[in-house]
Structure 1
Amino acid sequence: MFHASEVFEFARAIEENGRAFYQAMGTNARQPELRQLFARLSQEEEQHILDFTRLAARATPYDPPESYPGEYAEYMQALVDNSVFPRELDPETLAQQITTDQEAINLAIQFEKDSLLFFNGLKNLVSVTETAMIEELLRQERRHLCELHSVLQKK
């Protein structure tokens, strides 16, 4: 049995890294509108952390269809390990290495894309009632991506 609650812990860690990154970028951004955007994104990541905490508490063991035992767990682990924020990378240290607002936006876009890919995989691990919550999180992450892309296009 695969324990979806473990994956929700990964999801929480991704969001915690995103929150820390956006907080650091908000502090370091040169343009006031970018500081505001990063501050708001940080707050929204905080809400996502709470959402995943609730989902983890309700999650039940699940046996996803696999072509070999452990396939889905390996897939989700690979997504986590190859994300913008691997476990060994401190998002605040990364934010300090960024020298331009454009660099920050590009990294934020990559973070949102990685999140979308991971959260889309989560949909296969939850009940139909929990899928709606994952869909809402995906909608919010897509909005983040669109906002960041829009800011990048204005540069």
Structure 2
Amino acid sequence: MFRASEVFAFARAMEEKGRAFYQAMADGARDDKVRRLFERLALEEARHIRDFDELASTAAPYDPPESYPGEYEAYMQALVDSNIFPKDIQPEALAGQIGSDKEALNFAIQLEKEALLFFSGLKNLVSLTETSLIDELLRQERRHLCELHSALEEVQP
């Protein structure tokens, strides 16, 4: 069975890579507003890492309802395997390949979409008493997505 603790470990690693990516993008941003946005997002990803550490330490085993045995395990594994940061790619190297603030914002939007999809799936792996933290993470990721989209509309090509 796919354990919630494994998913939390992956979510933590995903947030670590996201933090490193946002920091690298902040370091290379040309526009001050974009730089400040990426710096703040890096700090928020660091907070998410702490949240996952806390959630993982208290998570009780939970088996989500399934249509067939192994359905949820297969779903979460597919999300893990198709993550925006494959295991062999380092965020700093990836950031170095991005040539403009606009490209960085587009990539960050995709990152946030992936996080929303993953966290939505994660919500079904925790007990009802633990869903409030996941709901808060989802709310924050939706806000990140909106902020990135707004910045994309304002940035010069």
- Deviation at 1:29? 0.5
Residue number in structure 2 paired with 1:33 = 33
Any conservation in 2 of the 1:27–1:35 contact (CA below 8 Å)?
yes
Residue number in structure 2 paired with 1:127 = 127
Residue number in structure 1 paired with 2:96 = 96
Residue number in structure 2 paired with 1:78 = 78
What are the ranges of 5 or more consecutive residues in structure 1 without an aligned counterpart?
Answer: none
Any conservation in 1 of the 2:16–2:45 contact (CA below 8 Å)?
yes
Instruction: Count the aligned residue pairs.
Output: 155
Any conservation in 2 of the 1:20–1:91 contact (CA below 8 Å)?
yes
Runs of 4+ in 1 over 4 A off after TM superposition: none
TM-score, with structure 1 as normaliser: 0.95
Any conservation in 1 of the 2:62–2:127 contact (CA below 8 Å)?
no
Instruction: Name the % identity.
Output: 67
Q: Specify the code of the residue in structure 1 equivalent to 2:125.
A: L
Q: Specify the code of the residue in structure 2 equivalent to 1:118.
A: F
What are the ranges of 5 or more consecutive residues in structure 2 without an aligned counterpart?
Answer: none
For 1:2 and 1:58, locate their aligned partners in 2 and report how far apart those are by CA, in whole Å.
17
Residue number in structure 1 paired with 2:14 = 14
Q: Specify the code of the residue in structure 2 equivalent to 1:125.
A: L
Q: Specify the code of the residue in structure 2 equivalent to 1:132.
A: S
Aligned alpha-carbon RMSD (Å): 1.1
Q: Which is further off, 107-116 or 82-91? A: 82-91
- Deviation at 1:2? 3.8
TM-score, with structure 2 as normaliser: 0.94
Q: Specify the code of the residue in structure 2 equivalent to 1:106.
A: N
Q: Which is further off, 138-147 or 70-79? A: 70-79
